[in-house]
Structure 1
Amino acid sequence: MKQIYLVVLLMFGLASGTYAQTLPPTEKAISQVNGVLWTQQSLEHHAAAAMAYHTASAALPRVIHGKLWASLEQGKAKLQRPAVILDVDETVLDNSEYDAWAVQNNQAFAPQSWSAWIRREAAPAVPGAVRFTQLAAKLGVDVFYVSNRECVADEADPCPALTHTQSNMARLGFARANDRAAFMFKKQRPEWSVSDKSERRAKIAETHRVIMLIGDDMGDFLPVASVERLRRGEADAAASEIMSHFGMNLFMIPNPSYGSWEKALPANPAARIPLLKGLEGL
């Protein structure tokens, strides 16, 4: 196991801390460059993320005492302790360094390299995220992190991804980062085996009034089936009602690099060009 992990580290460039471009960039890699650069270097990404969290912070005292629920999975009890649910990747932790490595090395997302990145515990915080969680805790709101980082046990730990994520987030100052009960990862329990987060949101709603959701993908706010219906342009009254809450108690963090929206597009970047809506006869 140690030998395998060392190979992964060397492949990922963690041993030297450098990345080496060894092959000409693929079409897929080139298509990712702007999204990764925008996340890493643009003032606009910092401003957009900070704006979302500042707006969420300003709304928090109001929604604590209001009647607006944030999720379709919300229970019926209205006197439960309030909770906010945040996604992890690209919502509270910035993984653009991993994305940059993938682009520079013509690599697709892979469990081995992703695990090596998580073990490094080097992801910085998304602007505004730490202060928001600290404010929520100060106001008596329980913070939960619902993520599709996967629990894959090793000899010593039932969920190394959770252990390293907690350590990463604790050093950054996130509220409840040291509380394992605040995290709900994919496969952390047998019933949480799918990427759809509905069941995990429902679990929180058994004991809490979910007053706010923050994420970077529509799956952080709605069941997968509802998201797919909306992407197809089909009617979904309940999901549409939740969608109307954006800016009130639902907040989206911009992520131009990846997401469930890509599933509705051809895998080949060149094949996506005809889907663009452009002017005719200009």
Structure 2
Amino acid sequence: MKASSIAAAVALSLLAGAASAEPTTRSISQVNGVYWTQFSLEHHAAAAMAYQAATAALPGLIRSKAWASLERGEASRKRPAVVLDVDETVLDNSAYDAWAVQTNQSFAPKSWAAWLALEEALAVPGAVAFTQQAARLGADVFYVTNRECTPEPTDPCPALTHTQNNLRKLGFPRANDPAAFMLRKQRPEWNSSDKSARRETIARTHHIVMLVGDDMGDFLPVDSVARLRKGEPDAAAQALLANFGKNLFMIPNPSYGSWEKALPADPAARIPLLKGPDSWAGKTEP
């Protein structure tokens, strides 16, 4: 049996082995986001709309000298680059999220590694066509992801191997080129979930003309995102926000993200934080 087949068999046993239980408060709180991603026409339309808008904008951006990222250099004489996140941006992992809800599990490195080994994530609507068009226009596509390199005896980075295989099956460009991928811990200086250092590496050799992601961390340094969520954006972050829909494109992800860090862990404790109308106490009579 091939190593990839063995890995897939182990992954299936790990994922199938989790016992079901009565739904927890957390599981119930995740249902709508996962269901919306998997079944709603609106998710498909929103993702496709973002990628079609990005496709339309790309030719002009390639000809310009404007930078999509805060990490930049001299634009002239550099190849254009389109930088994309992977999870929930080009690959749809809602099947893993559905498994977690149905088995009352939370994200865990072991089960996540098992899911990656299956190499069965679907493409986010519009992602394949967009990246293929970017390649045809002469832009180098980079996949910057916080999937983590955890070495094994037979593979220095199984997450890279599985990600490449998954993208190759779906027809994404540069899937065969390890240089197109930048994973967390792939290099010592990429140990953080902050993607700034990886964007800086790309900016040394390429002109970053577009960023695509599902989380603010795909566009800004982690500390800038934290200040932004507190309502205290720095000048660079504030300026960058004006570029969404121009050279920055956000893919909707209602299931998880850095936005959760600003919320109580207990979903029930989030209810009082919701903002209702100040002038209305909930009276139903005229």
Range of TM-score over shorter length:
over 0.9
RMSD: 1.8
Within 5 A, what are the aligned runs for 1:49-88?
49-88=47-86
Distance 1:6 1:128 in 2: 30
* Counterpart for residue 11 of structure 1: 14
Bigger Cα displacement from structure 2, 74-83 vs 39-48: 74-83
Please show how residues 1-282 of structure 1 align to structure 2 within 5 Å: 9-13=12-16, 22-279=20-277, 280-282=280-282
Q: Deviations over 1:173-212 (max 9, x none)?
A: 0010111000000011111101000000000000000000
Residues 225-273 of structure 1: CA distance to partner in whole angstroms, max 9, x if unpaired? 1001111111411111111100000000000000000000000000000
Q: TM-score, length-normalised on structure 1?
A: 0.94
Query: In the alignment, which residue of structure 2 is the partner of 1:17?
Result: none
The answer to whether the 8 A contact 1:85-1:210 is kept is yes
Residue type at the aligned position of 1:34: N
Amino acid at match of 1:175: P
Shift, 1:4, TM fit:
11
Contact kept, 8 Å, 2:27 with 2:102, in 1: the verdict is: yes
Give every structure 1 segment of 4 or more consecutive aligned residues whose post-TM-superposition deviation is greater than 6 Å: 3-7
Deviations 1:14-69 (A, max 9, x none): 8xxxxx86210000000000000000000000000000000000000011112321
Tell me, what secondary structure is at the counterpart of 1:206?
helix
Report SS of the residue matched to 1:191: helix
CA pair 264-173 structure 1, distance change in 2 beyond 3 A: same
Does the 8 Å CA contact 2:7/2:117 hold for their aligned counterparts?
no
Query: What SS does structure 2 have at the residue aligned with 1:67?
Result: coil
Looking at structure 2, the residues matched to 214 and 271 of structure 1 have their Cα atoms a distance apart, in angstroms, of 32
Q: Distance in 2 between matches of 1:177 and 1:262?
A: 31
> In structure 2, the residue corresponding to 1:49 is in which secondary structure?
helix
**Once the 2 structures are TM-superposed, how far is the Cα of residue 13 of structure 1 from its aligned partner?**
1.4
Query: Residues 90 and 126 of structure 1 are in contact (CA less than 8 Å); yes or no, is this contact kept in structure 2?
Result: yes
Give how far 1:80 is off: 1.0
Counterpart amino acid of 2:209? I
Contact preservation (8 Å) 2:14, 2:114: no
CA distances 1:88-108 after superposition (whole Å, capped 9, x unpaired): 000000000000000000000
In 2, Cα distance between equivalents of 1:7 and 1:134: 33
The answer to whether the 8 Å contact 1:8/1:112 transfers is: no
Q: Is the 8 A contact 2:52 2:130 kept in 1?
A: yes
Deviation at 1:8, TM superposition (A): 5.7
Instruction: Indicate if the aligned counterparts of 2:11 and 2:117 stay in contact, CA closer than 8 A.
Output: no
Name the SS of the counterpart of 1:22 in structure 2. coil
Cα distance in 2 for residues equivalent to 1:185 and 1:65: 29
C-alpha distance in structure 1 between counterparts of 2:272 and 2:187, whole Å? 42
Question: Relative to structure 1, is the Cα distance of residues 39 and 4 closer, same or farther in structure 2, using a 3 angstrom cutoff?
Answer: closer
Question: CA–CA distance in 1 between the matches of 2:163 and 2:149?
Answer: 11
Structure 1 gaps, min length 5: 15-19
- Percent of matched pairs sharing the same residue: 68
1:102-142 per-position Cα deviation (integer Å, ceiling 9, x unaligned): 00000000001000000000000000000111001000000
Deviates more, 1:234-243 or 1:75-84: 75-84
- The number of residues matched between the two structures is 276
